[in-house]
Amino acid sequence: MNRRRVVITGLGAVTPLGFNIKDLWEGLLAGKSAGCLITKFDTTDYAGKVGAEVKGYEPEKYFSSKDLRYYDLSHQFALIAAREAVEDSGFRDKDYVPERAGSVVGTAHGGATQFCNQYEIMLKKGMRFISPLAVQMMFSDMAPGLIGIEHDLKGPNYGTAAACASGTIALGCAYTHIVKNEADIMVAGGADTSLHHFSMAGFVRQKAVSTRNDDPATASRPFDKDRDGFIVGEGAGLIVLEELEHARKRGAKIYAELAGYGSSCDAFHRNAPDPEGYGASLAINAALEDAGITPEQVDYINTHGTSTVLGDISETKAIKLSFKEHAYKVTNNSTKSMIGHMMGAAGAVEGIVTVLSAVNDVIHPTINFETPDPDCDLDYSHNRTTEKKINYAISNSMGFGGHNATICVKKFTG
């Protein structure tokens, strides 16, 4: 029995580079940095003052005043990205069975912005003044629930929470539902808004973020010897996954195929990655095995590439463990060099970028590279756009707690 194939028919994103896929892709190819001094709250007492904000957002353009009283900012971004992905896919305009369509959305912080706001209201005014939906809006499952309501998706519906790997794991779970014949269409991805004072304070205290405050645009510098931490981004990325014959039947355009998925755990430390990269290499190996390909067939890797000292070395070692000598032939890059670390949304947005790279046979630059690091000696597309035939590509995600996930994207040739 042939395994059900999963293709990608719709893309949607809200990122620090804009409110749609076009702005994201054009900004990345241009090497545009979204790094800036944070304006969303007072950072006077923060050692790290740099982030990647979604600027110019006007929520009234997208939601009613009633909805805005309840929706967390992360939910708003998820809904906007889902609308673009669903419209791009066009499945609402064709026959589909709602009971065979679902949504999985990953997040690291859930409705943290709403939670912080409501908690401060309670402290200042008392419990009678908080929203009756304050608790529900902080749950990690609310974004896929709202997407399901808006688009009539009655199939599998839940959230995934695995820190920075949440979005990639959501894509993997949605893919698995289709492979197992539990769904025909899934709207999947990630959403996060970690740029608020409480989360940022925690990252600063952890010494995880860059303190390159004098030059925010260059603060995120993955694989550079002088990297000093990530910058926090925000936004959402949603993808419509669909069973191949279902997509063909309704005449959908097909971007690429999601051919494999793997996940693992470092089982090492609550914050630090496995220093030898073994845990991450397990996820890579599992994704390649699921796709039925060898490491030598991979042309491109969209790395997790956070710009942390330990993380970039660990991922480099993981790639070497999985790819051996081919590690020096495959082309890598880091999307986070431009849009920062979008936490639970990162893997989903980077999955979108991996798809666009495979479609267009082009790899965006990893910007802000100045000084080589002998421990990071692979080809990371530093400061250059690379045109290259891409038949297979993978996207890696690694999260606090040791969570690892990898998806494998295959060029669709019919």
Question: What pLDDT is attached to residue 94?
Answer: 75
Of the candidates 84, 76, 65, the residue with the CA atom closest to the CA atom of residue 113: 76
Question: What pLDDT is attached to residue 233?
Answer: 98
Q: Which two tokens stand for residue 128?
A: 């009678």
**Cβ atoms within 10 Å, residue 97:** 12
Per-residue pLDDT of the chain in tens (414 residues, 90 and over written 9): 589 999 999 999 999 999 999 999 999 999 999 999 999 999 999 999 999 999 999 999 999 999 998 899 999 999 999 999 999 999 977 779 999 999 999 999 998 888 888 989 999 999 999 988 888 888 889 999 999 999 999 999 999 999 999 999 999 999 999 999 999 999 999 999 989 899 999 999 999 999 999 999 999 999 999 999 999 999 999 999 999 999 999 999 999 999 999 999 999 999 899 999 999 999 999 999 999 999 999 999 999 999 999 999 999 999 999 999 999 999 999 999 999 999 999 999 999 999 999 999 999 999 999 999 999 999 999 999 999 999 999 999 999 999 999 999 999 987
Tell me if 360 sits within 8 A of 388, measured CB to CB.
Answer: no
Whole-model pTM?
A: 0.97
Determine whether 398 is exposed, middle or buried from the number of CB atoms within 10 Å of its CB (0-12, 13-18, 19+). Answer: buried
Q: Domains in the chain, ordered, with CATH? A: 6-256 (3.40.47.10), 260-411 (3.40.47.10)
Tell me if 186 sits within 8 A of 240, measured CB to CB.
Answer: yes
Question: What pLDDT is attached to residue 1?
Answer: 58
Question: What pLDDT is attached to residue 59?
Answer: 97
Q: Catalytic residue positions? A: 164, 304, 341
